[in-house]
Amino acid sequence: MSKKRGKRVGILTSGGDAPGMNAAVRAVFRRVKDLDPHNEVVLFKEGLNGLAGRLEVNYLGNIEREAIRGIIHKGGTFIGTGRIPELKPAPPGCEDVALWERKRKEITDVAVVNLRQLGLDSVVVVGGDGSFNGMSHIIAAYEERYGEPLGLVGLPGTIDNDIWGTEDTIGFDTALNNSVAALRNLRDTIESHRRCAILELMGNSSGWIALAAGIAGGATTIMIPERPESYDLQLVLARVRAAVRLAYRSIIIVMAEGVKKASGRPRVAEELRALIEGDPEIIDALGRPLETRINIIGYIARGGSPSARDNLIASQLGCAAADLALSDVAHAPMMVGTQGASVVLVPMREVIARSPRLVEASSPLWATAESLLVSADQSF
């Protein structure tokens, strides 16, 4: 008697690594096998690079429980990750559009053939909107070539928390806690010397990490790419002056890295430091310049063991993704996300079209920051 064959589900982690990705992979695997032990799980190594690479060295087939034991507490992603920019259409200003499109087709063709060769029923991708975009393109090419549907489910995995359609992304809470811990450690030495610090945090197009860390860590002011008023250097300087006038011993300016691009000033932190240290009003108040240091957290924010919250979110979304991946009901590519305490399903095309989710002027968190940060005319 031949062994019963269940469904085959592929999993990959793509884009930037995010703490909690391992918990997501574990949850998908355990749920897939729990629903039917005959179901099989295939893991792609190195993200989209593995899917579009040499199959024999870039996938792990018919995964058993031993392969994923002990991974839930580890940061990063144990199967690796990566990006393929050429999966997107040629960007504006591309010098050779025809060459770009040929490369895109070659990569897509390899990925499509690999998926077909493995006989997958669905694919689960943990990543951001770039990964969702690339996988959606590959799945569309697969269905066009073979005339058969192939399920695609996305889990939002990015420390930036900027995926539209979900309140939480896997990895954000850990990055936030790491950033707040760095801010608190920095405050100890800044307060001892009565100095100012500019703390640069991750966040290329969105300022959610900087905004949340600045509020939770008690920053003097916060600079994020979405809000031009936040990186007006004269207004920032006015806030620093107020903090000096009010006898603050530690003055910490939290800045998202994306401010450099949004402001068109790649050395904006250095410019701000020069303004603060050379300001006559501050020098007069202190009797000396206010020494200002620039600190960059960088990739440290996304390292280390995932927080309990990230592992919890990853586990909930992973189980929901497995249910959807094994569903017999045909559906377009979907993302599983959170709204309040509920898990929600969002069409991936909408997620791609409306991401990144940015900090709007009407954001409650931005309103909270404006109430809590030092103001130029603060009197208490």
Determine the Cα–Cα distance for residues 302 and 236; give it in Å rounded to an integer: 28
- Residue 41's DSSP bridge partners are 9
The amino acid at residue 361 is: A
Reference 21, options 378, 259, 29; nearest CA is 29
- Classify residue 251 as exposed, middle or buried by CB count within 10 Å of its CB (0-12, 13-18, 19+): buried
**From 17, 160, 279, 310, the catalytic residue:** 160
Which residue(s) pair with 254 in the sheet? 199, 222
What CA–CA distance (Å, rounded) separates 91 from 72? 37
Helix (H, G, I), strand (E, B) or coil at 163: coil
Partnered with residue 222 across adjacent β-strands are 254
β-strands 342-347, 196-201 pairing:
unpaired
Task: Give the span between the Cα atoms of 196 and 193, in whole angstroms.
Answer: 9
Q: Count H helices and E strands in the chain, helices first.
A: 14, 11
Cα–Cα distance, 23 to 74 (Å, whole number): 9
Find out whether the peptide bond into 149 is cis, omega within 30 degrees of 0.
Answer: no
- Catalytic, 17? Answer no
Q: Nearest to residue 46, comparing CAs of 15, 22, 87, 2? A: 15
Tokens of residue 175, six digits: 């990055």
Which residues are known to be catalytic? 160
